[in-house]
């Protein structure tokens, strides 16, 4: 895997959109202050491919992908692997509840020759190439196939994260062995072993199936074939014998069928002729029709007479005058008498009301005069009172004082008001005023009461006069209406005559209805009788038509009973003649039946001799016997051929089972895989030992024993030490040597798509002294100079960074981190 371009937005410290172009960067360094975001660039590469970062501790640290206060993080990586170019994309979002989830994940195979700089033009995802994966689950499988390494091996051999540089060196033997299995693709041999075992099982299952089939084909020997051929010969002989006898049998059966048919036809004619009989009561049908016709005519004449009488009465009633006009005149006479009586009563009431009204008017005038006199007396009393007050002012003031109130003159409180002296003029005037006022009020009440009574009497008088005038007007109208009218007795006589004529008319109408009902019943009886007569003729015609081929005699259409008698006599004569013919025809039927049975017995004897049954159809039975014999012969031949083919298949299956089982045995228990791993580990340790010797100035060699790594210290008399006893600087040298050996050698040893096309070291090279650092730099330069690997270093050591031709300077401000390419 070789990175080509990395795009980040909202990813950890890279809040703003940031692009790192690795094109032509075969040997580069990520430089910058501690905490600027150098390692984050490597994190973005891991995240784009695998969705996690070693420093996050698995997928639970997904929220770490988001920049502070950001709601979305996007990472896109363009990389090459095994000659193909891919683009991996991952998008992480935080929802409204604060949960962080992967919103999008995809891997696309880019077209050959695709220009990576076109990504800056805003291409849609569909323009980037074929979609290989579109979900996080699909990404895991697709990235493994494209890169050839799972996440754990990728972070041990390609991108070596900070703090995990020595993982492969210190890994347990089993873990290190699995890493090498994945790198070398040795899992294919396990798959081959499983496939070989499956094929061996399949071949053995086929072998058992063939043996079972062959066991069922034991009856295909030569004797069975000869017996089948003889059976075919016997079947053909039987078919030839039946073919010769069947035509004779068919002729005999045909003669017997013809005789039977003739006899059956004769019996059918006898049955038909014998069934000719006149229906019961056919003679009474014609008489019933004549009686019903006479009854219908009589009912029709009765209806005509009743209708004539009804019409006559209707004319008399119309000539008797208008009944409603007569009743209106009688009602007018009655209304005039009633209204005359009411008018007399109302006139007397008007006279009485007028007298009462005049008396009330006189009483009102008297009360009004009395009230006027009382008011005059009240005015005189008031004037006398005023004159008395002027005469006795003190008495007047005293009248307004009350106990305990101030005096209006001196404003002193008067504890007790003195009594008015007897014989005061003011007192006399006051008493006279009160008496005059009481008299005035009493007179006014009388006036109001008499005025109300007079008004009531006036209204009653006016109402009585209006009703009297109304009655007189209505009487005048009635007099005009009755002028020239007949007397009351004459009108009552005319109404009685009207009632008599109407009753007679109702009786006549009832007679018409009754006559019409009787006429309808008579017509229905006539129609029923005529229908019975027509039915009798239809029965006769149907019987005669059924005998038409025998030539029946003609019928008299005026006498149905006579027609039936003639036809019956003719049918009896014809039946007698045919009974005489039947005796000879029955003898011919018996002879033909005997001849057919004799031929059938010969055919049955032929089948019995062959050991078969003729059934209902000897020809078909013989044909079936031939077909079955030939089919049995064919099946036997086919089974013999099948047995020969199965024996050949058995040989092939047996050989396949032996070969597959032997291959599975050789690969069982991972013997071959362990041998390959041992060889690969030897080559890997040899290469790493040479690099370590160069890095350590000849002090150390790397060896392995039973899966464990050791160093040989030549400065200490070749002492063998475990790698876990090395110091920090020594561990770095050993880990770097092993990582470089993995990058340089295992790619050529791998048998799958695992391609170590790059190696990126994220390690703080500040622990090395100047000489060792110079050796490390020279080693990295030599590795990059080969041109088949991308070599990347993350460092903050200026001396090392200056020796690397391409540098990506990472800077960070208060908002975001930025990456700028310097050098070549």
> Is the pTM value of this prediction over 0.85?
no
Q: Which two tokens stand for residue 270?
A: 């006898």
Question: pLDDT tens digit string along 506-540?
Answer: 887 887 788 788 888 878 887 887 787 778 778 87
Residue ranges, the chain, pLDDT below 50: 747, 749-751, 753
What pLDDT does 747 receive?
Answer: 47
For residues 646 and 217, is the Cβ–Cβ distance under 8 A?
yes
C-alpha distances in Å from residue 404, one per residue of 399, 401, 410, 414: 14, 9, 14, 5
Q: Is 227 helix (H, G, I), strand (E, B) or coil?
A: helix
Q: Which two tokens stand for residue 90?
A: 């991952």
What is the distance between the alpha carbons of residues 428 and 324, in angstroms, rounded to a whole number? 89
Furthest CA-CA distance within the chain: 187
Q: Which two tokens stand for residue 393?
A: 């002012």
Q: What region does 729 belong to: left with phi over 0, alpha with psi -120 to 50, or beta?
A: alpha
For residues 471 and 346, is the Cβ–Cβ distance under 8 A?
yes
Other CB atoms within a 10 A radius of the CB of residue 667 amount to: 20
- Helix (H) / strand (E) element for 722: namely strand 719-722
What pLDDT does 703 receive?
Answer: 93
For residues 599 and 208, is the Cβ–Cβ distance under 8 A?
no
What pLDDT does 200 receive?
Answer: 80
What is the distance between the alpha carbons of residues 209 and 659, in angstroms, rounded to a whole number? 19
Q: Is 203 helix (H, G, I), strand (E, B) or coil?
A: helix
For residues 709 and 741, is the Cβ–Cβ distance under 8 A?
no
What is the distance between the alpha carbons of residues 635 and 638, in angstroms, rounded to a whole number? 5
What pLDDT does 816 receive?
Answer: 93
C-alpha distances in Å from residue 203, one per residue of 198, 650, 654: 9, 9, 7
What pLDDT does 161 receive?
Answer: 59
For residues 16 and 9, is the Cβ–Cβ distance under 8 A?
yes
Instruction: Give ∠ CA 810-815-821 in degrees, rounded to 5.
Output: 20
Tell which residue, 745, 741, 806, 731, has the closest CA to residue 779: 741
Strand ranges for 223-299 from DSSP E: none
């Amino acid at each position: 895997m070789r990175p080509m371009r990395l795009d980040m937005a909202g990813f950890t410290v890279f809040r703003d959109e940031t692009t790192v172009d690795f094109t032509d960067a075969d040997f580069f360094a990520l430089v910058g202050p501690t905490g600027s975001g150098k390692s984050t660039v490597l994190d973005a590469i891991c995240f784009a491919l695998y969705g996690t970062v070693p420093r996050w501790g698995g997928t639970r640290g997904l929220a770490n992908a988001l920049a502070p206060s950001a709601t979305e993080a996007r990472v896109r990586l363009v990389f090459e692997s095994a000659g193909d170019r891919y683009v991996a994309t991952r998008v992480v979002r935080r929802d409204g509840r604060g949960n962080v989830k992967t919103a999008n994940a995809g891997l696309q195979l880019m077209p050959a020759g695709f220009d990576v700089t076109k990504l800056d033009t805003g291409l849609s995802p569909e323009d980037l190439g074929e979609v290989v994966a579109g979900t996080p689950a699909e990404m895991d499988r697709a990235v493994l196939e494209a890169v050839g390494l799972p996440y754990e091996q990728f972070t041990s051999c390609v991108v070596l994260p900070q703090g995990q540089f020595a993982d492969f060196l210190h890994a347990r033997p089993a873990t290190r062995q699995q890493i090498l299995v994945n790198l070398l693709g040795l899992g294919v041999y396990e798959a081959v072993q499983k496939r070989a075992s499956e094929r061996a099982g399949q071949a053995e299952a086929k072998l058992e199936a063939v043996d079972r089939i062959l066991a069922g084909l034991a009856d295909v020997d030569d004797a069975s074939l000869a017996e089948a051929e003889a059976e075919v010969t016997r079947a053909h002989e039987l078919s030839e014998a039946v073919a010769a006898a069947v035509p004779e049998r068919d002729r005999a059966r045909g003669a017997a069928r013809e005789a039977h048919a003739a006899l059956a036809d004769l019996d059918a004619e006898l049955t038909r002729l014998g069934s000719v009989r006149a229906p019961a009561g056919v003679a009474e049908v014609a008489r019933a029709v004549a009686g019903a016709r006479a009854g219908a005519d009589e009912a029709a004449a009765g209806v005509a007479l009743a209708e004539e009488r009804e019409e006559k009465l209707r004319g008399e009633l119309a000539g008797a005058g208008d009944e409603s006009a007569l009743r209106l005149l009688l009602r007018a006479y009655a209304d005039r008498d009633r209204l005359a009586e009411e008018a007399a009563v109302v006139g007397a009431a008007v006279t009485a009301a007028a007298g009462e009204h005049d008396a009330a008017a006189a009483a009102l005038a008297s009360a009004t005069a009395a009230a006027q006199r009382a008011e005059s007396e009240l005015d005189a009393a008031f004037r006398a009172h005023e004159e008395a007050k002027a005469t006795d002012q003190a008495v007047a003031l005293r009248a307004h004082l009350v106990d305990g109130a101030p005096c209006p003159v001196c404003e002193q409180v008067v504890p007790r008001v003195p009594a008015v002296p007897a014989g005061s003029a003011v007192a006399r005037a006051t008493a006279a005023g009160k008496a005059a006022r009481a008299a005035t009020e009493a007179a006014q009440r009388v006036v109001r009461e008499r005025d109300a009574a007079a008004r009531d009497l006036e209204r009653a008088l006016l109402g009585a006069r209006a009703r009297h005038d109304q009655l007189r007007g209505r009487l005048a109208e009635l007099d005009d209406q009755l002028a020239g009218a007949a007397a009351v007795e004459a009108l009552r006589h005319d109404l009685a005559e009207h009632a008599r004529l109407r009753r007679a008319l109702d009786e006549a109408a009832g007679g018409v209805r009754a006559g019409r009902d009787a006429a309808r019943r008579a017509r229905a009886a006539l129609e029923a009788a005529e229908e019975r007569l027509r039915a009798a003729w239809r029965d006769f015609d149907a019987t005669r038509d059924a005998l038409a081929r025998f030539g029946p005699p003609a019928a008299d259409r005026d006498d149905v009973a006579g027609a039936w008698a003639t036809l019956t006599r003719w049918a009896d004569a014809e039946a007698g003649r045919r009974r005489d013919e039947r005796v000879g025809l029955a003898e011919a039927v018996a002879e033909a039946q005997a001849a057919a049975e004799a031929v059938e017995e010969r055919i049955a004897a032929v089948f019995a001799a062959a050991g078969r049954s003729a059934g209902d159809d000897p020809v078909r039975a013989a044909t079936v016997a031939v077909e079955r014999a030939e089919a049995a012969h064919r099946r036997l031949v086919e089974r013999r051929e099948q047995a020969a083919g199965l024996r050949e298949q058995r040989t092939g299956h047996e050989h396949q089972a032996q070969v597959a089982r032997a291959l599975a045995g050789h690969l069982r228990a991972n013997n071959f895989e362990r041998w390959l791993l041992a060889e690969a580990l030897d080559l890997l340790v040899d290469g790493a030992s040479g690099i370590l010797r160069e890095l350590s100035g000849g002090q150390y060699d790397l060896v392995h024993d039973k899966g464990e790594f050791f160093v040989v210290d030549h400065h200490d008399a070749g002492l063998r030490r475990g790698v876990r006893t090395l110091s920090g600087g020594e561990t770095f040298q050993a880990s770097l040597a092993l990582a470089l050996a993995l990058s340089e050698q295992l790619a050529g040893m791998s048998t799958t798509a695992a391609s170590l096309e790059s190696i990126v070291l994220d390690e703080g090279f500040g622990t090395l002294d100047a000489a060792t650092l110079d050796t490390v730099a020279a080693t990295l330069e030599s590795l990059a100079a080969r041109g088949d690997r991308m070599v990347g270093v993350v460092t903050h050591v200026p001396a090392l960074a200056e020796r690397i031709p391409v540098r990506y300077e990472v800077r960070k401000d208060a908002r975001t981190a930025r990456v700028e390419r310097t050098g070549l």
